Amino acid sequence: MKNYIKHDPWKIIEEGFHRDHNRISESIFSIGNGRMGQRANFEEHFSGDTLQGNYVAGVYYPDKTRVGWWKNGYPEYFAKVLNAANWVGIDFLIDGEQLDLAKCEVDDFYRVLDMQKGYLERRFEATLASGKIVKVKAVRFCSIVDDEVGAIRYSITPMNFSGPFELTASIDADVMNEDSNYDEKFWVSIAEEVDHQEAYLTAETKKTAFQVCTGMHLDIVRGGETIDFETTHLKREKYVACNTTVEVAEGQELVIYKYAANLSSENHPKAELITNCRNVITQAVNKGFDQLLQEQAEAWMAKWEESDITIEGDVAAQQGIRFNIFQLYQTYTGEDERLNIGPKGFTGEKYGGSTYWDTEAYCFPFYLSTADQRVARNLLIYRYKHLQRAIENAEKLGFKDGAALYPMVTMNGEECHNEWEITFEEIHRNGAIAYAIYDYIRYTGDKSYLVDYGTEVLIAISRFWSQRVHFSSRRGQYVMHGVTGPNEYENNVNNNWYTNYIARWCLSYTLEAIEHMQTNSPEAWKALEEKIKFYEHTETKRWKDIVEKMYLPYDEELDIYVQHDGFLDKEWELTINDLTPEQRPINQKWSWDRILRSVFIKQADVLQGLYFFEDEFDVETLRRNFLFYEPRTVHESSLSPCVHVVQAVVLGMYDKAYEMYLRTARLDLDDYNNDTEDGCHITSMAGTWMAVIKGFAGMRIKNDRLYFNPIIPERWEGYNFKVRFRGNLLKVQVQQSGTLITHEAGEPLEVQIGDQVRSIQPSEEVSV
Amino acid sequence: MKNYIKHDPWKIIEEGFHRDHNRISESIFSIGNGRMGQRANFEEHFSGDTLQGNYVAGVYYPDKTRVGWWKNGYPEYFAKVLNAANWVGIDFLIDGEQLDLAKCEVDDFYRVLDMQKGYLERRFEATLASGKIVKVKAVRFCSIVDDEVGAIRYSITPMNFSGPFELTASIDADVMNEDSNYDEKFWVSIAEEVDHQEAYLTAETKKTAFQVCTGMHLDIVRGGETIDFETTHLKREKYVACNTTVEVAEGQELVIYKYAANLSSENHPKAELITNCRNVITQAVNKGFDQLLQEQAEAWMAKWEESDITIEGDVAAQQGIRFNIFQLYQTYTGEDERLNIGPKGFTGEKYGGSTYWDTEAYCFPFYLSTADQRVARNLLIYRYKHLQRAIENAEKLGFKDGAALYPMVTMNGEECHNEWEITFEEIHRNGAIAYAIYDYIRYTGDKSYLVDYGTEVLIAISRFWSQRVHFSSRRGQYVMHGVTGPNEYENNVNNNWYTNYIARWCLSYTLEAIEHMQTNSPEAWKALEEKIKFYEHTETKRWKDIVEKMYLPYDEELDIYVQHDGFLDKEWELTINDLTPEQRPINQKWSWDRILRSVFIKQADVLQGLYFFEDEFDVETLRRNFLFYEPRTVHESSLSPCVHVVQAVVLGMYDKAYEMYLRTARLDLDDYNNDTEDGCHITSMAGTWMAVIKGFAGMRIKNDRLYFNPIIPERWEGYNFKVRFRGNLLKVQVQQSGTLITHEAGEPLEVQIGDQVRSIQPSEEVSV
């Protein structure tokens, strides 16, 4: 855990240059716009420790997997987020001496990520070996208005000398992924062009043949005046740059404007990439840096207007929650249903593929409540479009007749994870994907989704469950063997309660969905039935039988659900209080053998089910299970604490809730798990939102109405947030004196706060 | 399954060139002498499909492992048998045209492995593209008398032309392992020397720095007369060769003698390697090919004299059992306690490391009964010498206080396997290592081994078990979670009956061993107690408690031991009769997911325990378990059938016994599992011996006496074999008319045949 980030409600601030934490800062100060993004690498050359990272959404590479021992059914490739052309580079030779913060004395270093306005700024004074001092201020951003555009304003001033500044502004696609399995570079050159103050580079990915054209335009202002300059053109494979030398007088400010564009063949015909890239550059240059930045600030402020959470009386918490919301929207804007939310977003390359069950289980509610419902729908459509691949994935494992197993990790719908205990066994992901459909419809009321897409996905998932269980003659019940639950510290267990429960729920819900279609859209149903060769009498008969006879492990003595068969045969009397600090985190300190056999739980497992299906259990049941499982949970997944916050609040365990909240809220800002250098935990950031809104504010859908039951953590004075609900925008202010709900836009609706149901008109405020 | 190998009692014969099976033949016709060995690659250039393989015992390389997802405790390296310098190469340019069987018409091809005399011969007539015909006969062997020496006699005769024969005799260390993880070559050059008709090449392994010097000497005989010849010297990194051209007249025989030597720095100081290699070569040349071959034949015939099994009335069975005995002695002679029995011996590189539990569980009884007891003792000493490494291996997993976990796969004592479900979980191997100590003492009566080495190993193993189990408060018994039994088609199970049983047995036997030492060698015990800081009161108290309260899964309804918790929750009503032929072998046809969840068993698991501890169960218990488990066993490990033969005989199920015997006896000769191309299944070959001697002949140790209870498989007329027992050599002839035991050498002793105990004097025969 580190504490070098300054607390501020709207800004992420590093004061003083923390060389040893540079990779961490690069992650935290990352910028992105859903279409592209990058780590906060320096513009000027830096020979110190750095992880270069530039990413273009949707552009991936199927790296050949490395796996010690092959199992039938493993995928051969692991689709990876690709490190793409670096367009930020502006190197300086100052009177022949290179500007490199690794080799200078650095004073007054100040780095700030302005979340309110969406830009990154860095200032410092560098003393070169020669004693020459320069003062720098660099501002850059990825535009969320023109999402193919990025821009840099790099200001440099000689403080104690005059002399020539040789600068090289480059685009460098000769990059590689640090996690490349075979130290391979994934890009091949298509075209390099340099023309005076502009340069264009087109590169293509191997195998997948995505093309990305990256362009740049250079303007130079000296002492407040735009100057003409000659450039030397540097061009080699996968690298283009403009080089020029400018005489600068002591105290005179030299400003480099670098406009960049990233265009992908996913969005443009390959033949038109470069032409379109020139146009995008031209438009950006015409607007100019200041206007681009102003549009950026306005757009971000508009986003905040609808999705901000304010926390009164706790700046650290305020900063934490805003950072998480900011990074989520930098990663995924919901504009493009081909995209999804990578676990590291644009802040790192770890975990390869873009889509995990994190999306449905953790991120989905955030987008559902803070963005237009089209965004959540796009996340569902993403999976709908992958349905055929999920069916093929199941076929590879021996399933048939249209059963679908969605992949554990994917880019394009194909599985690209390869540990058998995860790939083949952590199948509860199928449940989360079905649950998101339910969640969407429950929240939006948009039942047309069931008819148009949802039921088809649900049936394929139910077909999988139906084949995946078997009837145990000994128990007289259906059982499910060989699974890994959300708690990945147990592998290949039988009858994981959560998996069995969500499988049974999927079958039930699918039966409901079918009935809904039969009743309300009989023709659509008939068409679907034919399309997927649905055999109602045999298939639904078995499903109903499974729903009725699914085995769900339960212990009478403790009166709890049992995580899986044999769990209570462990040394379950132990709790995390029996662990010494030296033993934690156990995933770093213990052998896998020991972890597997221990009672300790990585993340919510039974409790994940109780969170999803809270309504189906009474509070005392929730309490008994929480009191049993939470003290045995080490929360070594960033996805764990948020679920516990929500439940602890329901159980009135507010201290526990706040303790859990703290573990998620500033996970990356404080580098809680010592791994932020690899990138930020984007998907778990939604968990913080969930902790506040579903946790402290108790937001639910009850009886088709938005419901709140707010509490205020002790350290806070109050908090405010906005939610969208069925075309309406509500502002919720939770104060010591009561809760105030303002209907900011939409139609009249009823909301429930605690046990009070209140009608609320547009522009009206109600307080409870 | 293939059937191209001709049946013959003493010879392995391929008639006609089976190009498509060349890799299989290369495996089957492999030669070796325990110190070095090689696949039956052709001497002359061959551009067709081939797996080059030359191996030097004890020389390995720790290849960096490739594993998709790392687990704490994994080894970083996988020690591999190394493909070493190829010394067989003799290439021919015949009047400028290369002799290459892939590009010729090949007639009268005949390859024979003479097992009785220990050499490989190959004859053929090749028609080159030009129409030129040559007749070739090549003989080669690895001497078991001078085990650093190999020799080739290569005869070639032009049948329809006269002309120049340009020949190149080489040593080529520029080789690589086909299974190299990073396509890396493992040898670096130390020295290349060529001097007229001799060449020497010294190469060193990366990392491990083993040096091997390979030398060769060339003699040429034309038309019956040794000729002088000039050579051109070819030398490049890791390659040396002598090249010369000889005019040969039509019908004239040209004979190339190539003497080779392989000296390893394991046996010679590095500085003396080349000098010693020259000496070895000189001695071999002085002896000459014919004498070397004659000594080879005599030595092999002497080996057969003591270890042969003859089967009357079944040539295929006869050939099969001799092939297995031959390959076992080619692989391991027992001369060097640093060596062990690799699963592929010198016939291939698959499975990397040399030592698995196969050695103790399957090979040990073979060497114990057919060789001097020093050989079996050397196999035990091998593990004793690795004890410290086994303790370190356990420490890496979190065990302490001298607990030892022997590795699953090893070369030098370090673990080099990396699948968590095997590395961390298939811990029953520890039991087999303890059992071999027991087996050795039971058979030899040599209790001094317990005092000198055995008890120390047993205590370390017991310390492991004692820490590996935990007390289940629910059961009131000790349980063992997270293991993989011998049936590797189940992973990470709880309470594998076999593992729990052998763990309990280890603890009991260790307590006995300690008592033996305390009573008989109190001083040695005291020294050991201090050396290993043994705390008798606490340690043995816990062990006794575990022995008393170990949980062993048992099912009352079926009255059988249960393979592991939850096994009967599967669809156990299925048997292999429910599998269609298309589904088998399931390890090729099914996904790993499906295999894991199925009831089907890879190899003896509960039955492995009943085989080891037969005396502790009544026949009806053996029968019930056999009748339950065998029909669910797919025998997809080559180690499976032999154990079932032994038990089926005990149960009077002779047809089943013979069916199982057939699956093991000609496994490689008939390429039963379609994988002989990778090498032969050396360790499972001992299973065939076991099937005959412990199975059909019913050999046991009972009441400290050798015991037989022979039956004769229906298709056989009878069979004969020899066993060594406590310094005695017995010949056993099992005939329809009865069993005849001849005491060939040693002291008077008692043997038991069925229920009759008979005294037998040296040179006496008894018949029953």
- For the ranges A344-353, B107-116, B164-173, B322-331, the lowest mean pLDDT is seen at A344-353
Q: Are A347 and A51 in contact (CB under 8 A)?
A: no
More confident residue, A292 or A662: A292
Taking the C-alpha atoms of residue A420 and residue A440, their distance in angstroms, rounded to an integer, is: 31
Structure tokens at B482: 């997270």
- For the ranges A40-49, A52-61, A531-540, B73-82, the lowest mean pLDDT is seen at B73-82
**Backbone angle region of B410, left / alpha / beta, with phi > 0 → left and psi within -120 to 50 → alpha:** beta
Q: Where are the beta strands (DSSP E) in A586-708?
A: 700-702, 705-708
Tell me the pLDDT tens digit for each residue of B130-176.
Answer: 999 999 999 999 999 999 999 999 999 999 999 999 999 999 999 98
CA distance B491 to chain A (A): 7
Residues 6+ apart with CB under 8 A from A363: A328, A332, A341, A379, A683, A686
Taking the C-alpha atoms of residue B575 and residue B601, their distance in angstroms, rounded to an integer, is: 10
Instruction: With CB atoms and an 8 Å threshold, state whether B72 touches A481.
Output: no
Instruction: With CB atoms and an 8 Å threshold, state whether B420 touches A481.
Output: no
Q: Is the pLDDT of residue A354 over 90?
A: no
Q: Is the pLDDT of residue A74 over 90?
A: no
Closest CB to A569 among B474, B568, B590: B474
Q: Are A111 and A21 in contact (CB under 8 A)?
A: no
Task: Identify the helix (H) or strand (E) that includes residue B768.
Answer: none
More confident residue, B68 or A376: A376
**Closest C-alpha among B92, B223, B99, B273 to residue B170:** B92
Taking the C-alpha atoms of residue B338 and residue B266, their distance in angstroms, rounded to an integer, is: 10
Is B667 contained in some domain?
no
**Site from A569, A588, A598 to mutate, B interface, most B CB atoms within 10 angstroms:** A569
Tell me the pLDDT tens digit for each residue of B10-34.
Answer: 999 999 999 999 999 999 999 999 9
Closest CB to B481 among A481, A482, A570: A570
Task: Identify the helix (H) or strand (E) that includes residue A648.
Answer: helix A640-650
Q: What is the mean pLDDT of residues B600-620?
A: 98
Taking the C-alpha atoms of residue B284 and residue B288, their distance in angstroms, rounded to an integer, is: 6
**Site from B400, B593, B594 to mutate, A interface, most A CB atoms within 10 angstroms:** B593
The residue among B252, B280, B305 that closes a domain is B305
Q: Where are the beta strands (DSSP E) in A660-709?
A: 700-702, 705-708
Tell me the pLDDT tens digit for each residue of A94-148.
Answer: 989 999 999 999 999 999 999 999 999 999 999 999 999 999 999 999 999 999 9
One domain, residues B297 and B390? no
pLDDT band at B68 (very low <50, low <70, confident <90, very high): low
Residues 6+ apart with CB under 8 A from B548: none
The residue among B604, B634, B664 that closes a domain is B634
3-state secondary structure A484-523: CCCCCCCCCECCCHHHHHHHHHHHHHHHHHHHHHHHHCHH
Radius of gyration of chain B (CA): 27
Q: Is the pLDDT of residue B1 over 80?
A: no
**Residue numbers in A near B71 (CB within 8 A):** 591-592
More confident residue, B518 or B71: B518
Q: Is the pLDDT of residue A202 over 90?
A: yes
What's the pLDDT score for residue A211? Answer: 96
One domain, residues B284 and B155? yes
Q: Is the pLDDT of residue B506 over 90?
A: yes
Instruction: With CB atoms and an 8 Å threshold, state whether B482 touches A593.
Output: yes
One domain, residues B393 and B301? no
Q: What is the mean pLDDT of residues B488-501?
A: 97
Is A529 contained in some domain?
no
Q: Is the pLDDT of residue A325 over 80?
A: yes
- The 8-class DSSP code of residue A581 comes to G
Handedness of CA B216, B217, B218, B219 (dihedral sign): negative
Residues 6+ apart with CB under 8 A from B109: B14, B15, B16, B17, B122, B123, B124
CATH number at residue B603: 1.50.10.10
Is A80 contained in some domain?
yes
One domain, residues B107 and B219? yes
Q: Are A71 and A424 in contact (CB under 8 A)?
A: yes
3-state secondary structure B606-655: HHHHHHHCHHHCCHHHHHHHHHHHHHHECCCCCCHHHHHHHHHHHCCCHH
Residues 6+ apart with CB under 8 A from B399: B405, B463, B464, B467, B468
For β-strands B749-753 and B705-708, DSSP reports them as: parallel
Rounded alpha-carbon distances, angstroms, from residue A520 to A168, A243, A448, A534: 65, 67, 10, 18
**Residue numbers in A near B569 (CB within 8 A):** 472, 474-475, 479, 481, 494, 565
What's the pLDDT score for residue A182? Answer: 67
Q: DSSP letters of A390-419?
A: HHHHHHHTT--TT-----SSBSSSS-----
One domain, residues B394 and B500? yes
CA B25 vs. chain centroid, Å, equals: 18
Q: What is the mean pLDDT of residues A675-685?
A: 91
Tell me the pLDDT tens digit for each residue of B203-235.
Answer: 999 888 999 999 999 999 999 999 999 999 999
What does chain B come to in residues? Answer: 768
Q: What is the mean pLDDT of residues A747-763?
A: 95
**Residue numbers in B near A68 (CB within 8 A):** 65-68, 418-419
The residue among B245, B277, B305 that closes a domain is B305
Is B472 contained in some domain?
yes
One domain, residues B300 and B394? no
Mean pLDDT of the residues in chain B: 95
Mean pLDDT of the residues in chain A: 95
One domain, residues B120 and B243? yes
Q: Is the pLDDT of residue B65 over 80?
A: no
CA-nearest residue to B418 within chain A is A68
CA B28 vs. chain centroid, Å, equals: 13
CA-nearest residue to B479 within chain A is A569
**Backbone angle region of A361, left / alpha / beta, with phi > 0 → left and psi within -120 to 50 → alpha:** alpha
The packing angle between helices A429-444 and A497-520, to 10°, is 50
For β-strands A54-56 and B477-479, DSSP reports them as: unpaired
pLDDT band at B72 (very low <50, low <70, confident <90, very high): confident
Beta bridge partners of B105: B127
Taking the C-alpha atoms of residue A485 and residue A602, their distance in angstroms, rounded to an integer, is: 10
Is B167 contained in some domain?
yes
Cis peptide preceding A762, ω within 30 of 0: no
Closest CB to A482 among B67, B573, B593: B593
Is B200 contained in some domain?
yes
Structure tokens at A23: 């990779």
CA distance B55 to chain A (A): 23
CB contacts < 8 A, A to B, total 136
Q: Are B187 and B175 in contact (CB under 8 A)?
A: yes
Structure tokens at B5: 């190998």
Instruction: With CB atoms and an 8 Å threshold, state whether B593 touches A420.
Output: yes
What ipTM, to 2 d.p.? Answer: 0.90
Instruction: With CB atoms and an 8 Å threshold, state whether B481 touches A592.
Output: no
Q: What is the mean pLDDT of residues B51-57?
A: 94
CA-nearest residue to A398 within chain B is B591
Q: Is the pLDDT of residue A580 over 90?
A: yes
**Site from B350, B555, B578, B592 to mutate, A interface, most A CB atoms within 10 angstroms:** B592
Other beta carbons within 10 angstroms of residue B321's beta carbon come to: 26
What's the pLDDT score for residue B182? Answer: 67
- The 8-class DSSP code of residue B694 comes to I
**Closest C-alpha among B615, B712, B561, B34 to residue B341:** B34
**Closest C-alpha among B439, B432, B512, B431 to residue B468:** B431
Instruction: Please say if A512 is a catalytic residue.
Output: no
Is A328 contained in some domain?
no
What's the pLDDT score for residue B76? Answer: 77
**Closest C-alpha among B739, B647, B656, B652 to residue B695:** B647
Q: Are B214 and B191 in contact (CB under 8 A)?
A: no
**Site from B423, B475, B591 to mutate, A interface, most A CB atoms within 10 angstroms:** B591
The one catalytic residue among A14, A488, A630, A636: A488
For β-strands A239-248 and A232-236, DSSP reports them as: antiparallel
Tokens 């008989």 -> residue: B520
pTM (2 d.p.)? 0.93
Q: Are B242 and B200 in contact (CB under 8 A)?
A: no
Range of the domain at B620: 386-634
Rounded alpha-carbon distances, angstroms, from residue B168 to A105, A288, B250, B564: 66, 75, 21, 61
CATH number at residue A156: 2.70.98.40
Tell me the pLDDT tens digit for each residue of B385-415.
Answer: 999 999 999 999 999 999 999 999 998 898 8
Is B709 contained in some domain?
no
**Closest C-alpha among A726, A724, A171, A693 to residue A446:** A726
Q: Is the pLDDT of residue B67 over 70?
A: no
What's the pLDDT score for residue A335? Answer: 87
Tell me the pLDDT tens digit for each residue of A214-228.
Answer: 999 999 999 999 999
Tokens 């035991």 -> residue: B741
Tell me the pLDDT tens digit for each residue of B548-576.
Answer: 999 999 999 999 999 999 999 999 999 99
Tell me the pLDDT tens digit for each residue of B90-114.
Answer: 999 998 999 999 999 999 999 999 9
Closest CB to A475 among B473, B569, B596: B569
Residues 6+ apart with CB under 8 A from A447: A441, A516, A520
Instruction: With CB atoms and an 8 Å threshold, state whether A570 touches B66.
Output: no
Q: Is the pLDDT of residue B180 over 80?
A: no
How does A384-400 read in b/e, with b if 16+ C-beta sit within 10 Å? bebbebbbebbbbbbbe
Number of compact structural domains in chain A: 1
What's the pLDDT score for residue A67? Answer: 63
